[in-house]
Amino acid sequence: ATTELKDQNFVDEQPIYIYRDQVEDIYIVQNCTFTRCISEQDYGGALRINISNGAQISIISTNFSQCKSSHYGGAISATIIYTTSKLTIDGSCYFDQCSAGYGGAIYANGTGQFILNAGLVINNCSSNVGGGIHVSFQSIVTAKFNGVTFKDCSSTYEGGGLYIDFQFDSDYIKFTGDITFDNCSSQYGGGMLLRFNSQRLEISTKFLFKNCISVRDGGGMSMYYSQTGSNVIMTGDTTFINCTSLNYGGGTQVSATQSGTVEIIGQKFKDCSSQYFGGALSAVIQSMGQLIIRGLEIENCSSLQGGGLYLQVWEGQLISDNLTVKNCTGRYGGGMFAFIGDQGQVILDNNCEFLQCTSNKGNGGGIYVNSDSLATCQFQINDALIKECQAIEDELNDVPPTGYGGGIFVTGSEDYNVFSKRFNLKGLKMIENTASRRGQSIYIAMTKVVEWCKLGIAGEYVKGNYS
């Protein structure tokens, strides 16, 4: 049976409750407007939806303005139960100035299908978590965001535009779509925050983050996983433009704190910044976690530590190839800052380039490496070019020393075992780097430097590839 709600205007009303629980049930909301509709009972300011047993609800050409809920879903709250149950929101719908505790415009949870179609705009909506949309799934689901725009959305805590939480232990989840975040803000994940607990997550979504802001971490996006052995791959065409954060990751912040692998492919960062750690990307990797970054392009980004990239690696591994970091600026590591702790590994594997990056009033124009565990960590360059990078001294202050290591600055504590060959720069090429004080190409401030320089053929582990 099909039920329709058409051509109606609702102003200052209580929410409409829509419950469908049979496979043949279809409910259509079309060409309606909901203005200042408010829920005083926690769920859905305009529509409170419950779908189960394969029923379907579609919302078409409907506008929601200034709708509110005290808890879940300022305009719409939806519980979708069973894999064939479906909620579809058409691209001709519009959400404006809606607010709630969770999901300023929409809150959706359950185990069914949640589909948003091309053209949908979530504008100026706000909440504590998920300023535009809060999605929380407890089982294998279909989630499609086919051309959705979040504009001027904000949250006081997580996910300024979109918050997604895949709560369940699953073998495989796929997240697809095309999403734009424009001028969204939050404490964590200015545009989007993603949490998941699955064995494999594939994200092929095309993302655009513009002018998004985080007052803590992840100006554009923050990502966390908690499942041991997870395998995550992001393959979509993702771009960050002019995104900023205060702490970690002006563009992206990744936390890989369990054993497993996160692979990020083909992301672009331009004009992004953080005040402290990683103008474009910040990653914390530990407990046997692995982060692989391929084909990243980072340009004109800045931060105090790591103008382009900031890495903290303990008992984990970072592998990078086809990486380009250009015209980035930081005090410690214009292109990249890497802190490598006990059993941590940072490997620049193939075709990594740091071009025209600057350490301003600090050290390490291209790369700054620091370790508190020189005896057990690893820093290896198999194929990298550092070209026209510079370390500029602080002319007004002698302490701490600055202007060292135009290409690379390396420092650390504990005695380094040169025969371990854990610091291996054999694949490094240096061209026209400069430093105000010393180390035009490289400056090493650690023990056993002489022994390291004598290792191999003509100091190959330090000097790199001059072929």
Note the pLDDT tens digit of each residue in 294-318.
999 999 999 999 999 999 999 999 9
Mean pLDDT of the chain: 93
Alpha carbon distance 324, 334 (integer Å): 13
Burial label, 186 (beta-carbon count in 10 A; 0-12, 13-18, 19+): buried
More confident residue, 208 or 236: 208
Same domain (yes/no): 201, 252: no
What is the gyration radius of the CA atoms in the chain, in angstroms?
Answer: 25
pLDDT exceeds 80 at position 242 = yes
Yes or no: say if 222 and 214 are a contact pair by the CB < 8 Å rule: yes
Q: What is the pLDDT of residue 198?
A: 72
In which residue are the tokens 């790369």 written? Answer: 367
Which range of residues forms the domain containing residue 9? 1-219
Rounded to the nearest 5 degrees, what angle is found at the Cα of 429, between the Cα atoms of 426 and 430?
125
Same domain, 321 and 376: yes
Nearest residue to 51 (alpha-carbon basis) of 133, 132, 122, 108: 108
Percent of the chain whose pLDDT exceeds 70: 97
Residue 84 lies in a domain: yes
The distance from CA 16 to its chain's CA centroid, rounded to whole angstroms, is: 36
Q: How confident is the model at residue 159 (pLDDT cuts 50, 70, 90)?
A: very high
Sequence-distant (≥ 6) Cβ neighbours of residue 72 within 8 angstroms: 42, 43, 44, 100, 101, 102, 103, 107, 134
With respect to residue 440, please indicate whether it lies within any of the assigned structural domains: yes
What's the confidence (pLDDT) of residue 230? 78
Position 170 scores a pLDDT of 63
- Does residue 19 form part of some domain? yes
Q: Which residue has the tokens 């002698």?
A: 398
Same domain, 279 and 370: yes
- Transcribe 194-217 into DSSP letters: EEEEESEEEE--EEEEES-EEEEE
Residue 373 tokens read as 């565990």
Would you say 364 and 334 are in contact if contact means Cβ atoms under 8 Å apart?
A: yes
Instruction: Collapse the DSSP code of 419 into the 3-class scheme (helix H, G, I; strand E, B; otherwise coil) and give the result.
Output: helix
Residue 467 and residue 360 share a domain: yes
Q: Give the tens place of pLDDT for each residue, 89-114.
A: 999 999 999 999 999 999 999 988 99
Q: Band of the pLDDT at 467, cuts 50, 70, 90? A: very low
- Residue 228: inside a domain: no
Confidence tier at 42 by pLDDT (50, 70, 90): confident
In the structure encoding, which two tokens stand for residue 119, read together?
């053209």
Residue among 440, 451, 419 nearest 363 (CA): 440
- With beta carbons less than 8 A apart as the criterion, state whether 291 and 285 touch: yes
> Do residues 83 and 120 both lie within one domain?
yes
Is 229 within a domain?
no
In degrees, rounded to 5, the angle at the alpha carbon of residue 52 between the alpha carbons of residues 48 and 57 is: 55
What pLDDT score does 169 carry? 62
93 and 183 part of one domain:
yes
Distance (Å, whole) CA 117 – CA 301: 33
Residue 283, H or E segment: strand 281-285
pLDDT at 168: 65
Total domain count for the chain?
2
**How does pLDDT run across 404-414, given as a tens digit for each residue?**
999 999 998 87
Residues 208 and 251 both lie in one domain = no
Please give the Cα distance from 94 to 77 (Å, whole number): 16
Over residues 25-48, the mean pLDDT reads 96
The model's confidence at residue 20, banded by pLDDT at 50, 70 and 90, is very high
Measured between alpha carbons, how far is 385 from 355 in angstroms, rounded to an integer?
8
The verdict on residue 121 lying in a domain is yes
Arithmetic mean of pLDDT, 252-281: 94
Confidence of residue 421 (pLDDT cuts 50, 70, 90): confident
- Burial degree of 395 (CB within 10 A; 0-12, 13-18, 19+): exposed
> How many CB atoms are located within 10 Å of the residue 396 CB?
6
Determine the distance from the C-alpha atom of residue 204 to the mean position of all C-alpha atoms in its chain, rounded to a whole number.
14
Task: Tell me: do 193 and 65 sit in the same domain.
Answer: yes
Dihedral angle, C-alpha 454, 455, 458, 464, nearest 10 °: -120
**Residue-wise over 328-365: b if at least 16 C-beta within 10 A, else e?**
bbbbbbbbbbbbbbebbbbbbbebbbbbbbbbbbbbbb
In this structure, what are the phi and psi dihedrals at residue 449, rounded to the nearest 5 degrees?
A: -65, -45
Structure confidence at residue 456 (pLDDT):
78
In whole angstroms, give the CA distance from residue 12 to residue 221: 35
Same domain, 189 and 258: no
pLDDT band at 231 (very low <50, low <70, confident <90, very high): confident
DSSP 320-365: EES-EEES-EEEE-SSEEEEE-TT-EEEEEESEEEES-EEEEEE-S
| Residue 305 sits in the same domain as residue 442 | yes
Whether residue 325 is contained in a domain is answered as yes
State yes or no: pLDDT of 459 exceeds 80: no
User: Is residue 180 a part of any domain in this protein?
Assistant: yes
> Does residue 277 share a domain with residue 191?
no
pLDDT confidence of residue 465: 64
The model's pLDDT over 216-228, given as tens digits with 9 standing for 90+, comes to 999 999 998 777 7
Place of tokens 């720069």: 425
Judge if 335 and 374 occupy the same domain: yes
